[in-house]
Amino acid sequence: MNLRPATLSLTLCLALATLPVLAQDANADAARLAADIAALDQDPSLGDLAGLERLKARQAIAVLQAARSRDREHALFLAERWVQAAQAAAQAESLQRQSVQLDRERDQIMVEASRRDAELARHEADRLRLQSLAREEEAERLAETNEAERLAGVASTEAANAQAAQARKLADARARETALARKEAELAAAVAADSMSTPATGSNKPATASATASNPPPRTSATASATTASAPPIPTGRPFFTLAGTAFATGRATLTPAGQLSVQRIAAKFAPRGAIYIEGHTDSQGSDAANLSLSRQRAEAVRQALISHGVAGSRIRATGRGETIPVADNGSEPGRARNRRVEIFVE
């Protein structure tokens, strides 16, 4: 019975002896947790984060420091959990901030990419537009070139046709001139042949196809009298020859080869004989003065041709009568052709 009080006393003494140790352990845990919170506060990236959790953690540490022994274990559990919660919350908020920043950066990158894409798209659109304009301009240039070539071809064809037509006209005119010259040469040859068979003082046999008699046509018009007042008298009853207008170049006083041949034959037959009288005549086309001048020039051309073939110039008289002594109607081309002539009278 006396042992029970002693046992109670021993147990109380042991409990009292362990109180300082428990108090030291509680203070150590509180210091450790406080150091964790302090480290969290001093972290530059986490110090301003999870404020509520850090406050709860400090409160839990304070409760741990003031807790009784029987409550210390529970208070330590809560304090550790609140410290861990503060650390985790700070990390979570930091990650959230980083996520927001990354989102912003991503958005900025997307905006920049969109801007670059829009710029590239605009450049591409401009390039395509310029290509389209270049194609249109090239098409227009080709169309203009083709049209110019077509017009040049048409003009060239028209010019070629005109040249061909002109060449045909010129060939026709030359053919007619050649035919007339050939006829003139044939007539001159016939005249020369007939003349050679006619005596110098013989009958009045015609010498050419254009002469209707050996005597010259009568000169009875008043105009003819006025024009020829100063011309030498033409003897009658003498051989005479007619050179048609085709014996000369058109509109000129130059003898053609056929005309030269006719004059040469006349000169060969009558060079030794007496005086020779030459009269130039024209049709009524043109002015009187021009016709008179042309008739005189053609008469003088025949005179010079006779001289060149051996006839003395002192024996030759040449004059022009113009249109004053026609032998046919000037109203028709055949008549005008007959009136364009040079008559040669041999005494």
Does 143 have pLDDT greater than 90? no
Q: Could you tell me if 207 and 339 lie in one domain?
A: yes
* Domain end (from 150, 185, 211): 150
Write down the number of H helices and E strands in the chain: 7, 4
> Please, are residues 315 and 232 in contact by the beta-carbon 8 Å criterion?
no
170 found inside a domain: no
pLDDT digits (tens, 9 = 90+) for 50-107: 888 888 888 988 898 888 888 888 989 998 999 999 889 988 988 988 889 899 999 9
User: Please, where are the H alpha helices in 197-276?
Assistant: 222-227, 257-270
Residues 37 and 110 in one domain: yes
Residue 61 domain-assigned (yes or no):
yes
Q: With residue 38 as reference, give the H or E element that holds it.
A: helix 3-42
The residue among 321, 334, 326, 177 whose CA lies nearest residue 246 is: 177
Residues 2 and 128 in one domain: yes
What is the domain extent for residue 239? Answer: 198-346
Residues 121 and 209 in one domain: no
Same domain? For 1 and 142 the reply is: yes
* Within a domain: 31: yes
pLDDT, one tens digit per residue, over 94-142 is 898 888 989 999 998 989 888 888 989 888 999 998 888 888 888 888 8
Confidence of residue 181 (pLDDT cuts 50, 70, 90): low
Asked whether residue 135 falls in the same domain as residue 256, the answer is: no
Is the domain of 259 the same as that of 144? no
Average pLDDT over residues 314-318: 93
Question: How many domains, in total, are found in the chain?
Answer: 2
pLDDT digits 0-9 by tens, 231-290: 444 444 456 788 887 888 888 889 999 999 999 998 888 777 788 999 999 999 989 999
pLDDT score at 164 = 84
Reported as a pLDDT band with limits 50, 70 and 90, residue 305 is: very high
Query: Does residue 155 belong to any structural domain of this protein?
Result: no
> What sign has the CA pseudo-torsion 162, 165, 171, 175?
negative
Give the domain CATH number at 309.
3.30.1330.60
Q: What is the pLDDT of residue 26?
A: 60
Picking from 80, 45, 44, the residue whose alpha carbon sits closest to that of residue 60 is: 80
Closest CA to 72 of 11, 19, 16: 19
141 in a domain, yes or no? yes
- Same domain for 70 and 11: yes
